[in-house]
Amino acid sequence: MEVRPTDSNIYKLLRISAIRQETQDVKTFIFEPLDIKIPYSPGQFLTFIFNHHHKEERRSFSISSSPALAEPLSITLKRIENGAYSRLLIDRTQVGDILYTTGAAGLFTLPADIANRKQLFFLAAGIGITPVFSLLKTALHEYHHLQVVLIYSNRHNKETVFYNDLVALEKKFAGRLRIEFLFSNSFDLSRARLSKWLLPTLISEYATVAKEDILYYICGPFTYMRMAIISLQEQGVPDANIRKENFDTVTAIPHILPPDTEPHNVVLNVQGQQYNFTVQYPQSILQAAKKLHIPIPYSCETGRCGSCSALCTTGTVWLSYNEVLTDTDLAAGKVLTCTGYPVKGNITLTV
């Protein structure tokens, strides 16, 4: 099967070289590039292009391979009953099929100062293990000074993606990797589900440095992530030490009126090309660029994935919603074009 977008010339081609069944409803797709190799960082995702009734649609799936191990580029996804494209990939794609992608993106990555960190905690639930698995392998193989803890929640071990691989990693890196598998069908209810009461206990049990010095990565269902973040905040963990990857990009973003609804000029630099256009509320920067067929990267369009992040070098961009950029990112000039609007004058962006 070949899912060809309406304009395939600007995208990268990937051929499926292998498909691995992980659990009953989860598969790993292993790719080989057909044109150029796709660079990526552990923890990122690939955005794929689909043609639906002559209209381009995009879906992002997390990368489970690690560049540090020279593994072939791979994604791992779960079949969702109402997920049009997860069902398409799980049910219909075969080895040899070609997919189109805009490449890798995402901010759920290891920090630039990883050499100065001493311990990482990964909190994952269900298919949320996918980007965590990439980060975990990289941290263990590349940064030998790091102590790593994984707290992984599932209903039972048969539904636990990468279970055997994780057990093997814990044996290989004994003394550096600790894994706490939480199964909701466990007879020990005190350790069946991660809760705001259990999480502090596990941190106290596994922490080798002060809890506010640990870097925490969280990926799973919305309620799981909200509970974990609130629990960490109540423990005094600074927001800068909490990284999250949100798979829930369906929930509508709030409609908030920007402080300036006047039209402003945007100079947008994309892949060496410069574009000039006007943006005025209620149209966002991304919406205006898409209307002009400018090849700008994006995926969720809700301020939750970071695919559309850009660097603002001139002027001010106001964001109606943001779940991915940290205070450090914002201070460095990073913005989101999907929820971004120019205010107080003209702006210049680079993506």
CB 278 within 8 A of CB 265: yes
**113-140: per-residue pLDDT in tens?**
999 999 999 999 999 999 999 999 999 9
Average pLDDT of the chain, as a whole number: 92
Could you give the strand order of the β-sheet that contains 74-78, starting from the edge strand earlier in sequence?
A: 55-62, 45-52, 98-105, 12-23, 26-33, 74-78
Percent of the chain exceeding pLDDT 70 equals: 95
Residue 189 has pLDDT above 90, yes or no: no
Could you tell me the end-to-end alpha-carbon distance of the chain, in angstroms, rounded to an integer?
A: 32
User: Which domains are present in the chain?
Assistant: 8-105 (2.40.30.10), 114-246 (3.40.50.80), 264-350 (3.10.20.30)
The pLDDT of residue 326: 87
Q: Is the pTM of this model over 0.85?
A: yes
CB 63 within 8 Å of CB 121: no
Give the number of other CB atoms < 10 A from CB of residue 111.
15
Q: Burial letters for 95-104: b for 16+ Cβ neighbours within 10 Å, e otherwise?
A: eebbbbbbeb
Lowest mean pLDDT among 5-19, 89-103, 229-243, 256-270: 5-19
pLDDT at 9 over 70: no
Nearest to 33 by CA among 46, 47, 17: 17
Q: Tell me: pLDDT of 314 over 90.
A: yes
- Reported as a single tens digit per residue, the pLDDT across 42-58 is 999 999 999 877 778 89
Q: What's residue 8's pLDDT? A: 46
